[in-house]
Amino acid sequence: MPRKIRQLITDLESAGFVNRGGKGSHRNFLHKKGVASTISGKLGDNTKPYQERLLRQKIKEVN
C-alpha cells in the first residue's frame, strides 16, 4: 500500500525542511542548505513513485 502525502511531509520536516506554503495542493519546502522541494497533492492522497524517489534524493542531498 502506498504511503500518503502527509507522511512525505513529515519526513521532509524531520529532515529539517520548512514549509514555505504554496498555491492549491502544492507545498514548497526549503532547507537551510538551500535545497528546495515541492510536494503536490492533498494530505490523504497516495504518493506516486516519482514523489518517493524525489523525497529520498532531496533528503540525501542535505545529509
Question: Chunked in runs of 10, what are the mean pLDDT values of the chain (63 residues)?
Answer: 95 97 96 96 96 96 93
Q: What is the pLDDT of residue 38?
A: 96
pTM reported for the whole predicted model: 0.91
**In the block, which residue shows the cell 532547507?**
31
Q: What is the pLDDT of residue 55?
A: 96
> C-alpha cell of 8?
512525505
- DSSP letter for 63, please: -
**What's CA 28's distance to the chain center, in Å?**
8
Domain boundaries of the chain, sorted by first residue: 5-62
Q: What is the pLDDT of residue 1?
A: 85
Q: What is the pLDDT of residue 15?
A: 97
Q: What is the pLDDT of residue 46?
A: 97
> Could you confirm whether domain 5-62 is CATH 3.30.920.30?
yes
